[in-house]
Amino acid sequence: MKLSGFSKYFLIWAKIIYYILGNYKTNILFKLGYFKTNNGSTHFRFNSISDSLKYINQVFDDYLSFAEISVKDIKGKNILELGPGDNFGVALKFLIAGANKIVCLDKFYSNRDVSQQYQIYKAIRDELLPEEKINFDNIVKLDSQAVEFISDKFEYIYGTGIENALNVLSPTFFDMIVSRAVLEHIPDLDATFDTMDKLLCTDGYMIHNVDLKDHGIFTSKGLHPLTFLSVSEKIWKLMTSYNGKPNRMRIDYYRRKMEELNYKYRIKTIHITTLPVIEEIKPQLQSQFRKMLSEDLMPETIFLIAKKRNKNNS
């Protein structure tokens, strides 16, 4: 159904007010030490354990295939996973593949269903080869519906965002930093890349999947997928500065940042908004987006694969 001009205007402002209130509520709760959120409760929303397994395997396989590395390349590595959400299946896969250590760092604590989590880890174990099961049992204890991570190869830190991670992690410790659907939730990406650069060792990799869409803020009400780029920067900040809603950075930002940090990098676009859909709304976008090449507004999901160069630039 096509919305009239008035209905659109009303819906947009209703959403803006709703998100501004939610943003400040999140900030107050976070300052009071309440880190729980449904952001990242990915598995909680799945209908079956097989959906969870499929997701975990897909996320892990994507890291390897987009970075063009194999399981062998993971052996002995120290890995940082940003924003794991409500499950550590991907981290487990890295450890079973031979990683030396994995740290899962999350600003929030994603709400989770304890009995579902038990079933997921059990299903991960059931899929493993006998020698991998031994490895699994050295990392996770599954006992009467409870899950306990018992190895110091695994660490979960929540309550600290990646922007402030140097308060809790050591510089140059990591060989790899990975994330799925996380960077778009962080308001200060300059601080985030700065920190990740310090945490990575020379020749270390970053592999990030970034979702550039509006995360349903306006599209859930049938509005154009780029409506969120028509909101002024000031209002967008009021709506999103604390609650992990999308930061609106486009592909050009990631390119610029990688050049600035002198990384060797590739950005692969996975899904796009088509040109006619972009042209339909482009005149109404905020000037920083209006000035951009339409091609740079097309990517909806990207993979950034970047390697920290050594001092000789190789």
Ligand X SMILES: C[S@@+](CC[C@H](N)C(=O)[O-])C[C@H]1O[C@@H](n2cnc3c(N)ncnc32)[C@H](O)[C@@H]1O
Q: Is residue 243 at the binding interface for ligand X, with CB under 6 A as the rule?
A: no
Using an 8 Å Cβ cutoff, are 218 and 155 in contact?
no
The single-letter DSSP state of residue 310 is -
Separation CA 56–CA 151 (nearest Å):
20
Cβ-based burial of 267 (10 A; exposed 0-12, middle 13-18, buried ≥19): middle
Q: Smallest distance from the beta carbon of 84 to ligand X, in angstroms?
A: 6
Q: Smallest distance from the beta carbon of 297 to ligand X, in angstroms?
A: 22
Between residues 85 and 204, which has the closer beta carbon with respect to ligand X? 85
CA-atom Rg of the chain in angstroms = 20
Separation CA 139–CA 135 (nearest Å):
7
Separation CA 220–CA 307 (nearest Å):
37
Tokens of 211: 């979702």
Q: Is residue 101 at the binding interface for ligand X, with CB under 6 A as the rule?
A: no
Q: Is residue 107 at the binding interface for ligand X, with CB under 6 A as the rule?
A: yes
Residue given tokens 């400040």 in the structure block: 24
Between residues 3 and 44, which has the closer beta carbon with respect to ligand X? 44
Q: Is residue 246 at the binding interface for ligand X, with CB under 6 A as the rule?
A: no
Q: Is residue 214 at the binding interface for ligand X, with CB under 6 A as the rule?
A: no
Identify the residue among 26, 39, 195, 247 touching ligand X (CB under 6 A). 39
Identify the residue among 12, 78, 79, 106 touching ligand X (CB under 6 A). 106
Tokens of 173: 């410790």
Between residues 195 and 230, which has the closer beta carbon with respect to ligand X? 195
Separation CA 38–CA 88 (nearest Å):
16
Q: Smallest distance from the beta carbon of 40 to ligand X, in angstroms?
A: 3
3-state SS class at 272: strand
Q: Is residue 84 at the binding interface for ligand X, with CB under 6 A as the rule?
A: yes
Q: Smallest distance from the beta carbon of 299 to ligand X, in angstroms?
A: 18
> How many residues of this chain bind ligand X (CB under 6 A)?
21
Residues that bind ligand X (CB under 6 A): 39-40, 42, 82-85, 105-108, 110, 161-163, 180-182, 185-186, 244
